Amino acid sequence: MLSWSPVSAQIVAPSRSRKTSKLVILGASGSIGTSTLDILSRSPGEIELVAVSVHSSLPRLAEILTCFPSIKFAAITGTQPPESLTEFSKKFAGVKFFWGVHAAAELLNAARSEKADTVISAVVGAAGIAPTLRAIELGYKIALANKETMVTAGPVIERALASSKDASIVPVDSEHNALFQLLLGLDAPHLKLAILTASGGPFLNRTPAELKQVRRQDVLNHPTWSMGPKITVDSAGLINKGLEIIEAMHLFAIPLNRLDVLIHPVSHVHALVETADGFRFMANRPSMLFPIAHALYFPQSPPVYPDVVTRPEAWPALEFRKVDPVQFPGFALCMEAARNGGTAPAIFNAANEIAAGLFLDGLIQFTDIPVLLEMVLSASKIEQGSELGLYLEADARARESAYAQSKRLTKVEEVV
């Protein structure tokens, strides 16, 4: 039977009383990390920041540690020369530092021993899988922005959550956070369709010939959202929306045939649910402050941000239209991976992480991204199962395959 219990098992009515929580931010230097810090600064004393991770930016970490003296633990998850880390850590005597491959897990352990209860996972890519699983084992409430974890290892995360007494996930992705709120109090059999919206990105009205000419800065110029580089590339080809469909399947246990996407260029409506009596939707101006604050404060009510809210009479006209899969081949391939299930989403996601990285490094064209994805998918064997190792192996093989196959694509300088 249709149900969204895996994630929303701990749903209770929002309460008005304020209870302080202690927070860990994984990926504090990124776009979601920065918006999270903004939320904390707007309501000082309500959420205590005790631990942060960054991958590589020591200058940004120094700024964060200076602005938030409550931080007791910090992790640097990427490789850095050991001397620079020792020098850096001397400047912040009250902070315990972790680095190396297990840094995020050690950070989560240490923060939990100091009664941290909430973690926001704002890292990018399947690198988020291990810390998410550790956070579940430790019984954290996880505000999950990192969609690649659900796409790659959804069945494993679902199983880990089901066997945890305390852990829960509240989605941060704006569409999924909206859906989470829309599904509260709605009995599963009454849901006809859950619809995620997509802005359509910067190339909604471009022809295939025009798309061949787009440059890095055109792709990174998203019309409605300001985000990190990888998700911005994903959004330009609607691949982000395909990933979000898979994310929704796992977060809410909604089958693919009850999920749909509508293009909605102004990004004010984030999700809709269709029931027998019509459509309900969740709308506000495109700002990640709303879903992040909702997830951090849930089950309490989030603060109000009058400077960010706009009233409906000031909204642009709300237009919706179907996606043309021919116009967005990466989206069509992702939907095929969703239909195939098993390791297909993990293969798609890993190949896409490589493809987006190659594009951002100027090594392949934007239109080569779906070409490379198709090459990797057609050369890969899809397997079914629920063991973490199966998904991690599929991820690793797809990355190798994507690197190898990318050599067959035309070099960027030969066509520009």
Q: Does the protein bind Mg ion through residue 234 (CB under 5 A)? A: no
List the end-to-end C-alpha distance of the chain, in Å, as a whole number.
53
Q: What is the spatial distance between Cα 270 and Cα 340, in angstroms, rounded to a whole number?
A: 26
- Which CB sits closer to ligand NAD, 37 or 409? 37
Determine the Cα angle at 50 with ends 144 and 35, to 5°.
Answer: 45
Q: Does the protein bind ligand NAD through residue 349 (CB under 6 A)? A: no
Rounded to the nearest 5 percent, the helix, strand and coil shares of the chain are 45, 15, 40
Question: What single DSSP character describes residue 304?
Answer: P
**Do residues 359 and 369 lie in contact, with contact meaning Cβ atoms separated by under 8 Å?**
yes
- Which CB sits closer to Mg ion, 174 or 284? 174
The minimum distance between CB 413 and ligand NAD, in angstroms, equals 26
The minimum distance between CB 123 and ligand NAD, in angstroms, equals 4
Determine phi and psi for 142, rounding to 5 degrees. Answer: -110, 115
The minimum distance between CB 65 and ligand NAD, in angstroms, equals 14
Q: Does the protein bind ligand NAD through residue 248 (CB under 6 A)? A: no
- Residues contacting ligand NAD: total by CB under 6 A: 27
Q: What is the spatial distance between Cα 99 and Cα 103, in angstroms, rounded to a whole number?
A: 5
The minimum distance between CB 60 and ligand NAD, in angstroms, equals 8
Question: What single DSSP character describes residue 164?
Answer: -
Judged by beta carbon distances under 5 to 8 A according to partner kind, the member of ligand NAD, Mg ion, none in contact with residue 182 is: none
Which run of H or of E encompasses 22? strand 21-26
The minimum distance between CB 308 and Mg ion, in angstroms, equals 17
**Residues 238-256 as b or e (16 or more Cβ within 10 Å = b):** bbbbbbbbbbbbbbbbbee
Per CB under 6 A, the list member of 51, 156, 231, 289 interacting with ligand NAD is 231
Per CB under 5 A, the list member of 117, 158, 173, 247 interacting with Mg ion is 173
- Which CB sits closer to ligand NAD, 225 or 315? 225
Q: Does the protein bind Mg ion through residue 148 (CB under 5 A)? A: no
Q: Does the protein bind ligand NAD through residue 236 (CB under 6 A)? A: no
Q: Which two tokens stand for residue 269?
A: 């409506």
Q: Which two tokens stand for residue 332?
A: 């069509």
Burial class (CB in 10 A: 0-12, 13-18, 19+), 304: exposed
Site string for ligand NAD, 79-108 (x = CB under 6 A): ------------------------------
Tokens 């520009």 — which residue?
A: 416
- Which CB sits closer to ligand NAD, 152 or 406? 152
Q: Does the protein bind ligand NAD through residue 288 (CB under 6 A)? A: yes
- Contacts to Mg ion by CB under 5 A: 173-175
- Residues at the contact surface with ligand NAD, assessed by CB under 6 A: 27-33, 54-55, 77, 122-125, 127, 145-148, 173, 225, 227-231, 288
